[in-house]
Amino acid sequence: MALSKDFMEIILPEDLESGKIGIFTLPERKSRWFKTGEDAGQYAEAMSGKQNVYFTLAAYRNGIKSGRGTEKDTAGLLAVGIDLDLADPLHSKENLPKSEAEIMEVIKEATPGIPPTVINNSGHGIQVFYCFKEPWLFDDPGERVQAKQLCADIRNNYLHHLAKRGYTLDSTFDLARVMRVAGTLNIKDPDNPKKVKILEESGMRYNPDDFEQIIITEGRKTIDDIVQSKPGSEFDLKLNSKATPPPEKMEAMLDDANFLALWTKSLDKKIEAECDKAGREKDASLSIYDMRMCMEAVKYGWSPQEMADLIIAFRNKHHKKPQDLHKALRVDYVERTIRKARGQITQAEQLHQVVSIADAAKSIERNERTGQPVDSKQKDKVRAECLAKVSDYIGGQIKSLRKYMSEPPVYEFLLEEGNVIRIGTSKELLNQNHVRNKVFDTLAHVPKGLKKNNWEALCTLFGFIQEELDTAPETREADRMQEWINDYALSFTMYEDGSEAYAGDKGPFTEDGKVYIFGSQFRDYIQTAKSEKIGTKEFGLAMRRIGCTAVRKHFLRRDGYKTTAMVYEITPVTQRILEGLKN
């Protein structure tokens, strides 16, 4: 039986960079908002049995004061969810699947080769979840439309295969929908409560584009059927199935041998060889050609509308099945292709600059190692260029990259204004998502994601801007965490009973000569009193490093109900704290 916390950590395994996930309860119709799956799951467990407990598939903007928000409040999508009802006295529809086994067959047919991340029995039906590799956070309203289109497309796949069996599916596919939390009770029928439980967990996670090849076009509602055309959108495209690119520009482009090879679709073997060399699946699909043609068109100054017409004309020329042409008429796909093409051209220019700087830095380091003369002015210039490029990425003026010579070494960026972005080990320094999260924690903005080769090029600059420092005791993470625990415990009333602490401000409490703290309250203290923001996983790791153990304890609430919560036994510093209390 899966606990709600375990399930919610499948849906949201890491802290949200932006927005919050909601837990919604019925019949009280209240929502609570959380940054982590762990916290959301713990709250869901506490509400189980008293309320029907649901979670939001979307991340929501901050500041929702009542209700569970609307689609316009969504800031991202964590997973695509499908709710499949079973024939049941509680369901008024008659044309519903009769058995769990029958639904499992439909699931395999609906998304062939793409198994759901997790499948739940909701008590009176089956709920299916396809989780993303990382939360799909919307950069603009257009991406919200694309996310809604994806939800509708996958729902249509299910509807198609259910219809073959004479069954139907609810019409809901908006981003604001909620689903039941595994591990809670479905008390829709209070006299016959049902446990919401996990049936299967594949461990698979996906990118939104992974579903493109399996979308069924029959019965598909296009983006314009779902929402109105987006006036004032980024590109304001008009897609016409008979569109052709501008003749004069097209004639000039066809003089370019590379573009001509793309337009005539003559590069299949070359593209497949490039994929093979890079260790990727061989892919010479029309989508690859669309992207590469648009990249060439960007270089020649084509407008977004002209590039859209180019994609349509190319697919009219080379499509082998209706889906190929239909894809060219999807606003979300065409906009995304144009956006990516523009971004890759910009990143290609930036990559060239970074590689040039990196080569200069490597040359200086090589000369220093071999005893060759080094021009100090040139060295200072290259270091300044390295700092400038890293600063551009971080979004703040970097003074240096500090490397503390601990075991293992840990790194942090020091900014000119004095802010410090604590990164962690070398493994974490070279992890782009980790660095982006840490930048957001300190500077409240997220650096733009880089392609793998661009990121690797940027990483080569880190070694040239780092400065090695001896690790003083107060800078060591373990000592710092112990000091914080000590300060925290001595700053609050020490409860002699855990239930009193739980019912009060969740401060520290003693039990059998040991001291315990509530992790969430301690993390809040670190952020407010120490001006340090620390993620759930990083926090848990730091506590384990100093020997503090996470334990689940039972508490009696003020209303007389029993509940459980995770607390930390702070054994390594217990004696020091108790001595402080005596003094």
pLDDT digits (tens, 9 = 90+) for 313-334: 999 898 877 667 777 877 878 8
Return all residues near 447 (Cβ < 8 A) that are at least 6 apart. 393, 394, 395, 435, 436, 439
> In the β-sheet with 21-26, what is the strand arrangement from edge to edge?
30-34, 21-26, 52-56, 178-180
pLDDT digits (tens, 9 = 90+) for 205-216: 999 889 988 988
- What is 4-225's CATH number? 3.30.70.1790
Calpha distance 222→169 (Å, rounded): 18
Q: What is the DSSP string of 45-63?
A: HHHBTTBEEEEESEEE-TT
Calpha distance 478→491 (Å, rounded): 20
Tell whether the model's pLDDT for residue 512 goes beyond 80.
Answer: yes
pLDDT digits (tens, 9 = 90+) for 467-492: 888 754 344 667 778 888 888 887 88
Q: What percent of the chain has pLDDT over 70?
A: 88
What is the overall mean pLDDT for the chain? 83
Confidence (pLDDT) at 1: 40
Q: Taking the CB of residue 257, how many other CB atoms lie within 10 A of it? A: 8
Calpha distance 468→379 (Å, rounded): 18
Q: Indicate the domain borders of the chain.
A: 4-225, 234-329, 374-471, 475-582
Contact present, 51 and 125 (Cβ < 8 Å)? no
Q: 549-556 and 74-85: which strand pairing? A: unpaired
Task: Assign 341 a pLDDT band (cuts: 50, 70, 90).
Answer: confident
Calpha distance 254→261 (Å, rounded): 9
Confidence (pLDDT) at 140: 65
pLDDT digits (tens, 9 = 90+) for 40-74: 999 999 999 999 999 999 999 887 777 778 888 89
Of the CA atoms within 13 Å of residue 422, those in its CB half-sphere come to 11
Q: What average pLDDT does range 403-422 have in this prediction?
A: 83
Tell whether the model's pLDDT for residue 201 goes beyond 60.
Answer: yes
Tell whether the model's pLDDT for residue 191 goes beyond 90.
Answer: no
Task: Assign 228 a pLDDT band (cuts: 50, 70, 90).
Answer: very low
Q: What average pLDDT does range 490-508 have in this prediction?
A: 87
Task: Assign 222 a pLDDT band (cuts: 50, 70, 90).
Answer: low
Where b means 16+ CB within 10 Å and e means fewer, 320-356 reads eeebbbbbbbbbbbbbbbbbebbbbbebeebbeebbe
DSSP summary character for residue 281: P
Calpha distance 257→50 (Å, rounded): 69
Task: Assign 184 a pLDDT band (cuts: 50, 70, 90).
Answer: very high
Q: Taking the CB of residue 27, how many other CB atoms lie within 10 A of it? A: 8
Task: Assign 547 a pLDDT band (cuts: 50, 70, 90).
Answer: confident
pLDDT digits (tens, 9 = 90+) for 293-318: 998 888 777 888 899 999 999 998 98
Query: Residue 125: which of 79, 91, 172 has the closest Cα?
Result: 91
Query: Residue 334: which of 309, 317, 300, 316 has the closest Cα?
Result: 309
Return all residues near 455 (Cβ < 8 A) that are at least 6 apart. 432
What is the radius of gyration, based on Cα positions, of the chain?
28
Calpha distance 421→398 (Å, rounded): 10
Q: What average pLDDT does range 239-260 have in this prediction?
A: 85
Calpha distance 44→47 (Å, rounded): 5
Residue predicted with more confidence, 520 or 132 = 132
Q: How deeply is 146 buried, as exposed, middle or buried, from its count of CB atoms within 10 A (0-12, 13-18, 19+)?
A: buried
Q: What percent of the chain has pLDDT over 90?
A: 27
Confidence (pLDDT) at 169: 82
Residue predicted with more confidence, 144 or 172 = 144
Confidence (pLDDT) at 248: 83
Q: Tokens in use for 496?
A: 């002699």
Task: Assign 372 a pLDDT band (cuts: 50, 70, 90).
Answer: confident
DSSP summary character for residue 227: S
Where b means 16+ CB within 10 Å and e means fewer, 176-191 reads bbbbbbbbbbbbbeee
Rounded (10°) angle between helices 141-164 and 100-110: 130
Q: What average pLDDT does range 132-152 have in this prediction?
A: 83
Contact present, 2 and 22 (Cβ < 8 Å)? no
Helix segments in 76-166, DSSP class H: 100-110, 141-164
Confidence (pLDDT) at 545: 77
Confidence (pLDDT) at 281: 61
Confidence (pLDDT) at 376: 81
Query: Residue 88: which of 113, 123, 63, 61 has the closest Cα?
Result: 123
Confidence (pLDDT) at 2: 52
pLDDT digits (tens, 9 = 90+) for 117-134: 999 999 889 999 999 999
Contact present, 425 and 431 (Cβ < 8 Å)? no
Confidence (pLDDT) at 277: 67
Tell whether the model's pLDDT for residue 116 goes beyond 90.
Answer: yes
Confidence (pLDDT) at 310: 95
Calpha distance 436→443 (Å, rounded): 10
Tokens 């479905």, located at residue: 186
3-state helix, strand, coil in the chain (%, to 5): 45, 20, 35
pTM of the model: 0.44
Calpha distance 56→46 (Å, rounded): 17
Q: Tokens in use for 578?
A: 């108790």
Calpha distance 158→161 (Å, rounded): 5
Length reported for the chain: 583
Confidence (pLDDT) at 280: 62
pLDDT digits (tens, 9 = 90+) for 75-111: 999 999 999 988 887 766 778 888 899 999 999 999 9
Task: Assign 575 a pLDDT band (cuts: 50, 70, 90).
Answer: low
